[in-house]
Structure 1
Amino acid sequence: MSEVPSSVAEARPRPAKDEPLRVAYSEADDPCAVAGELAAALCHPQLGCVLFFCSAEYDLGALGRALDEAFGAVAMVGCTTAGEITPLGYGRGCIVAIGFDQRHFSVSQALISDLEGFDLIGAQRLTANLLDDCRRQALAPVGGHCFALTLLDGLSSSEEQVLASLDAALGSIPSFGGSAGDDNRLAHTYVFYQGQFHSQAAVVVMINTRLPFEVFTTHHLRPRREKLVVTRADHERRQVMELNAAPAAEEYARLVGCAVEALDEQVFARVPLAVRIGDAHYVRSIQRVNADGSLTFYCAVEHGIVLTAMQPAPILEDLDAVFAALQERLGKPQLIIGCDCFLRRLEIEMLDQTALASQRLREQRVIGFNTYGEQHHGMHVNQTFTGVVIGRPGGARGA
């Protein structure tokens, strides 16, 4: 259910019939009811594609069949989540969807079914096919009018390889995305393509439009003085056995000032670790403590890298500054598609700021989901709010 006051729920926004993007969501439990609600709100003669984000609590097989029947030939892509961002703000156990009007957006999609075997040649072929499809729709020139969205299985451990190949193939085309979640169970995550949910897979969506847009990312974390060197790690499993030549969980617990037994998601959200590249810090969030005292991360970690301890600045102040800057450049947003790390949402809940955060997300027309990792221009990161803002006709051109 959406975590908003009842007074807001009673004033639930209805989809605008004359806008290039329509939004709908459903809190129904029955997949057929869900599909019916979404179709009633989104379907019109010019509907070209639907992008959705849904809770993993649904019977996904039944949901896929119901959506396929309700929307017929309309292309649909999506993924499971660790929480949804609806027209009312943060939601839980529901589904939210965006309908793209084909008079304003040409949308092309592709599935990557072999993540481990995906390489630069495959990325170049996939990108060329997506762009050719956009050109055939003849809506807008490719140069300066395209951005790419990637949705990946959040437990595949293949994000870095896939994103590096895609980024090289995309060239100057901006990209962003998120890793699918499963309501914080860390068991099974899925992407949706051509009527079915797929695991160990990714969906790439190329969106071409004349409307102004800008891909962006932000985080509210600031570096502390403490450093941890990865002295033993299993790169493929994203597992760190030693930090500073000591058992990883013990050394991290010493850093944060608690017992190993007390380490949990709340601690990981409060004191994340990051790798510094140039002047920027890229967060490498801890997923869990293992029985052998090692730490498993959401992002790739390698032997020898130096991790900097981070501390949070006020999260809503950072969000306000980002929204203000985007609005100054593009005007009032028509929609923001947002990929918001589930650890950010956990921090907001710990601070008892869920209602305030939801208010901001509503005001800025953010639709999206809580992720197990975010993607920005080929980088796989954690604890960010990453997305694309789509402006209104006549606004400034983004990138």
Structure 2
Amino acid sequence: MQQAHNDGVVSAMSQASDARLAAQELARQLLHPHLGFVLFFCSAEYDLRELAEALEQGFGGIRLVGCTSAGEITPLGYGRNCVTAVGFDHRHFSIATGLIDEMERFSLIDAQQMVERLVGTCRSNTLAPIKGHTFALTLLDGLSSREEMVLAALSAALGDIPHFGGSAGDDNYLTRTHVYFGGAFHHGAAVVVLVNTWLDFEVFTTHHILPRHEKLVVTGADSAQRRVFELNAEPAAEEYARHIGVPVHALDYRVFAAHPLAVRIHDQYYVRAIQQV
């Protein structure tokens, strides 16, 4: 159990395997008179229904959003089978949230209406101007196959508001991922968090990969299902395995993590994780 403070932000974690004890430990570390919002990431090993009930009980009406993850970044460093959280002081942050419960039906009109509603909520608190003082965070079901469509609609609606986020995980099972909103864990859904603050912030990207010279061109795919059948006009798994120097039967999540695919946009590389062969 560890706690870390910064101006307006408190971070905490629990390594307790029992969901109720974990929620109690987070509440003990995060609760203070000005706590207005909590963002958390948890292992999928928890009993999620029990964890949801315990979090709502422990935080007594304070809004929480979060998602299941595949490893947690904590005040102690990288962790597994634990829960980590960040608490935001309402004197520093005005935060509005929304749930996309049907990602497959989410349209640009839906995105515009959601962003308008979230901006209106933040603006009503008169903490700071929206322009230049606001960013958006999106947590998405990592197995929905609809992430790009949802993010494209949201980015268009957000305009010049910086936008970042990621996909929920479920440790390394890749069977069922969840986001948390309104006191419950949801499957096939996404959570949008709009943060308005008078504090300085920067949205940035970083990764640990180094590019190789070879290019893999997708020559056969089912884009709706996000399945790649061919790379460089060869069977995708065989071509990928050949480039990294391993047999096809050795491909697993460890190999994918060590040798990710990435799309280059201008001078930046963006990882496109492989789920399975």
Same fold (TM over 0.5): yes
Q: Which residue number in structure 1 is paired with residue 124 of structure 2?
A: 136
Per the TM alignment, residue 200 of structure 1 is displaced from its structure 2 partner at its CA by 0.4
> How far, CA to CA, are the matches of 2:164 and 2:19 in structure 1?
29
**Matching of residue 260 in structure 1 with residue 237 in structure 2:** no
1:53–1:95 contact (8 Å) kept in structure 2: yes
Give the letter for the 1:51 counterpart: L
> 1:100 Cα shift?
0.8
Is 1:181 the equivalent of 2:169? Answer: yes
Taking a change above 3 Å as real, the CA distance of residues 259 and 147 of structure 1, as seen in their structure-2 partners, is same
SS in 1 for 2:55: helix
Does residue 224 of structure 2 align to residue 244 of structure 1? no
Q: Which residue of 2 aligns with 1:381?
A: none
Cα distance per residue 1:240-269 (max 9 Å; x no partner): 222222222122222222211112223223
> In the alignment, which residue of structure 2 is the partner of 1:346?
none
Identical columns (%): 61
Partner of 1:94: 82
Structure 2 match to 1:54: 42
For residue 70 of structure 2, what is the aligned residue in structure 1? 82
For structure 2, list consecutive stretches of 5 or more residues without a partner in the other structure.
none
Structure 1 pair 36–274 and aligned structure 2 pair: CA distance change class (3 A): closer
Post-superposition CA distance 1:78-137 (Å, at most 9, x none): 000001011111011111111111111111110001101111111111001111111111
1:210 aligns with 2:210: no
Residues matched between the structures, number: 277
Find the residue that maps to 1:213 and give its secondary structure. Answer: coil
Aligned residue identity for 2:55: L
Give RMSD over aligned pairs.
1.6
Please tell me the residue identity of whatever aligns with 1:78.
G
Deviates most, 90-99 or 237-246: 237-246
Report SS of the residue matched to 1:39. helix
Unaligned runs of 5+ in 1: 1-11, 290-399
Alignment partners' CA distance in 1, 2:21 and 2:212: 49
Pick from 90, 101, 108: which aligns with 2:96?
Answer: 108
1:32 counterpart = 2:24: no
Matched, 1:41 2:22: no
Task: Map residues 1-399 of structure 1 onto 2, 5 A cutoff.
Answer: 13-16=2-5, 19-289=7-277
1 or 2 for the larger relative contact order (CA 8 Å, sep ≥6)? Answer: 1
Distance 1:85 1:283, change over 3 A: closer
Worse-superposed segment, 124-133 or 245-254: 245-254
The whole-number CA distance in structure 1 between the counterparts of 2:107 and 2:212 is 37
Is the deviation greater in 266-275 or in 197-206?
Answer: 266-275
**2:148 partner amino acid:** E
- Alpha-carbon distance in 2 for matches of 1:223, 1:99: 36
The CA deviation at 1:184 is: 0.9
What do residues 321-376 of structure 1 show as CA deviations (whole Å, max 9, x unaligned)?
A: xxxxxxxxxxxxxxxxxxxxxxxxxxxxxxxxxxxxxxxxxxxxxxxxxxxxxxxx
Distance verdict in 2 for CA 1:82–1:205, change over 3 Å: same
Cα offsets for 1:254-290 (capped at 9, x unmatched): 222221111222322333333333344333232211x
From the superposition, tell whether residues 15 and 233 of structure 1 become closer, same or farther in structure 2 (CA, over 3 Å).
closer
Task: Note the alpha carbon deviations across 1:158-214, whole angstroms, 9 max, x for none.
Answer: 110000000011111101111000001101100000100001000000111111000
Instruction: Report deviation, 1:218.
Output: 1.8
CA pair 268-29 structure 1, distance change in 2 beyond 3 A = closer
**Rounded Cα–Cα distance in structure 1 between residues aligned with 2:253 and 2:109:** 38
Q: Distance in 2 between matches of 1:13 and 1:56?
A: 21
User: Helix, strand or coil: the match of 1:221?
Assistant: coil
Relative distance call for 1:224 and 1:30 in structure 2 (3 A) is closer
Q: Judging changes above 3 Å, is the alpha-carbon distance between structure 1 residues 283 and 34 closer, same or farther for their aligned structure 2 residues?
A: closer
The 10-residue stretch of structure 1 (46-55 or 271-280) with the greater mean CA deviation from structure 2: 271-280
Distance in structure 2 (CA, Å) of the matches to 1:227 and 1:99: 43
State the distance in 2 between where 1:247 and 1:106 align.
50
Task: State the alpha-carbon separation in 1 of the partners of residues 263 and 196 from structure 2.
Answer: 34
Report the alpha carbon displacement of residue 13 of structure 1 after superposing the two structures with TM.
4.7
CA–CA distance in structure 2, aligned partners of residues 204 and 279 of structure 1: 28
3-state secondary structure, aligned to 1:223: coil
Q: 2: distance between equivalents of 1:19 and 1:221?
A: 32
- Write the letter of the residue equivalent to 2:120: D
Aligned equivalents of 1:238 and 1:226: distance in 2?
22
Contact 1:15/1:41, CA 8 A, preserved across alignment: no
SS at match of 1:282: strand
